[in-house]
Structure 1
Amino acid sequence: MKKLVNYSPSPVNQILLGLLPFVVLLIVYMMGSDARLSINPSDKLLPSFGQMGDAIYRLAFEPSRRTGELVFWQDTLSSLLRLLAGVGIAAIFGLLVGLLTGALPVIYATFAPLLTVISLIPPLAILPILFIIIGLGEASKITLIAIGVAPFIARDIQRRTQEIPSEQLVKAQTLGASTLQIFIRVLLPQVMPKLIDAVRLSLGTGWLFLIAAEAISSTDGLGYRIFLVRRYMSMDIILPYVAWITLLAFLIDYLLSALNARLYPWNQEGKS
């Protein structure tokens, strides 16, 4: 009999085993919801799937009486624009700082300690400062995401740059390459797939800062809606919104992974 430690499931079994915990959670939730609603039909803690479907249908397909917008889609668009803007700025900043500090020893000696200190500052702690300096508009929310994500990306790119064999730099200089040419022709192509990986890893943090900023100061967005309806214990809206955020995060991560595999297949081969 094969020992469990040596058992490797087939691709089909891997899919089934991966789905199993989700099916169990759904069944447990349905049993708990049915039990609570049978005792108290107006219970809000564990709404049925039908109640959640009705609530999301109203938000997604019935225009708001106050604004005339489809609230669900407007919240989604606003949050995605803020997230992509913040993470995009962080990626550009992280790439530049990471490359410079990773490739140039004098820059590393000067700014690496500062980068380390900045990365240790909890971004949520400076949120009031951002509101005071920048205001309560979109800029403060995007800035919070960028500040929260950029140090992580910069330090990761810095480490990845330092891992590039020095022999490549020596060969490039032997062939007459300038510092700028080394950055563009040698370092940048090897760092770009690592940048996409770093962005993927930082998306969870980006979502955290997005939800926090929207909860504190916003008039739309997924985080704003969740914290708006919590005062009414509207779990029929909160739970679908949380599930939607999770799905969006998964889709963005999947798209970035596919983009990385498409643009830099050699990087995927190196992982295998």
Structure 2
Amino acid sequence: MKRLINQTPTPGLRLALGILPFVLLLLVYLLASDARLAENPNDKLLPSFSQIGDAIQRMAFEPNRRTGEYQLWADTASSLTRLGLGVLLAASLGLILGLSTGALPMVSALTSPLLTVVSLIPPLAILPILFIVFGLGEPAKVALIALGITPFIARDLQRRTLEIPMEQLVKAQTLGANTSQIICRVLLPQLLPRLIDSVRLSLGAGWLFLIAAEAIAATDGLGYRIFLVRRYMSMDVILPYVAWITLLAFMIDAALAGLSRRLFPWQNKGGH
């Protein structure tokens, strides 16, 4: 008898198995929603699919009577702008810190202890400080995302830099390369693919910090909207927003993976 550990699903079976949990979750939700609404038609905890559809129609395809904006798209634009700026800043700082601390022992001795300490501070704990320093505007939200994920990216790139074989550095020096040439031509090309991977791994935390900041101090954004309507138990709005955030996160991750494969094909032969 073939052992379970040696059984590999065919592509078709793999697809079916991947879809099955989502179908089961939707079926369970549908049954639970029907049961609660049959008992209480005004129940808001598990809205029906028609109620969710009405909420999506209202938020995404009907202009707001007060502002004239299409609420879902306006919130999405605000959140993605904050997330994009925060991640871009974190990636830039993380690359600089990771490369310099991994390649330059003097810089490592100076900044590695501080980087380690900063990485241990819960980012949400310093959110009030950011609001005091930067105010309640956009800089504080972007700074929270950047401070929250920069240490992870920096330490990951530092480890990757230290993993690069010393023989490569010795050969470069033998050929007359100086420090800047070694960094730009030997280390940096090998770190850029890892940078994209680090950003992909840190996006979950980035979304967490974004939603937390928007929930506390914002007038628009996906996180703001979710925490605003929760006061009225508007699950017909909350559930589509959560699903939309999940879909956005998936699309961003897929886009970064595609970018990595396109720019650095030699690093992705095994696939990601």
- Give the TM-score, by structure 2 length: 0.98
Partner of 2:146: 146
Residue 10 of structure 2 is aligned to residue 14 of structure 1:
no
Deviation at residue 109 of structure 1 after TM alignment: 1.2
Q: Distance in 2 between matches of 1:29 and 1:103?
A: 53
Residue 50 of structure 2 is aligned to residue 50 of structure 1:
yes
Q: Distance in 2 between matches of 1:110 and 1:96?
A: 14
Give the AA of the match of 2:169.
L
SS at match of 2:69: coil
Q: Distance in 2 between matches of 1:12 and 1:266?
A: 29
Partner of 1:264: 264
Consecutive unaligned residues of structure 2, counting only runs of 5 or more, are: none
Partner of 1:206: 206
Partner of 1:175: 175
**Post-superposition CA distance 1:9-43 (Å, at most 9, x none):** 01111111011111000000000000001111110
**Post-superposition CA distance 1:141-188 (Å, at most 9, x none):** 000000001000000000000000010001111111110011110000
**Post-superposition CA distance 1:214-249 (Å, at most 9, x none):** 000000000000000000000000001000000000
What stretches of structure 1 move > 4 A for 4+ residues in a row? Answer: none
Deviation at residue 105 of structure 1 after TM alignment: 0.8
Where do residues 51-70 of structure 1 align in structure 2 (5 Å cutoff)?
51-70=51-70
**Post-superposition CA distance 1:192-216 (Å, at most 9, x none):** 0000000000000000000000000
Q: CA RMSD in A?
A: 0.9
Q: Distance in 1 between matches of 2:52 and 2:75?
A: 17
Partner of 2:226: 226
Residue 184 of structure 2 is aligned to residue 197 of structure 1:
no
Partner of 1:123: 123
Deviation at residue 3 of structure 1 after TM alignment: 2.1
SS at match of 1:130: helix
Give the AA of the match of 2:269.
E
Give the AA of the match of 2:218.
S
Deviation at residue 80 of structure 1 after TM alignment: 0.4
SS at match of 2:269: helix
Residue 101 of structure 2 is aligned to residue 135 of structure 1:
no
**Post-superposition CA distance 1:71-124 (Å, at most 9, x none):** 110000000000010000000000000000000111111111110000000110
Partner of 1:242: 242
**Quick one: percent identity of the two aligned structures?**
69
Deviation at residue 270 of structure 1 after TM alignment: 5.7
Q: How many residues align?
A: 272
Deviation at residue 269 of structure 1 after TM alignment: 2.0
Q: Which moved more, 1:91-100 or 1:61-70?
A: 61-70
Give the AA of the match of 2:176.
G
Q: Distance in 2 between matches of 1:220 and 1:56?
A: 17
Residue 186 of structure 2 is aligned to residue 186 of structure 1:
yes
Give the AA of the match of 1:155.
R
Partner of 1:31: 31
Consecutive unaligned residues of structure 1, counting only runs of 5 or more, are: none
Q: Distance in 1 between matches of 2:100 and 2:121?
A: 22
SS at match of 2:268: helix
Q: Distance in 2 between matches of 1:3 and 1:133?
A: 60
Deviation at residue 271 of structure 1 after TM alignment: 6.2
Q: 1:81 to 1:114 in 2, by over 3 A?
A: same
Partner of 1:87: 87
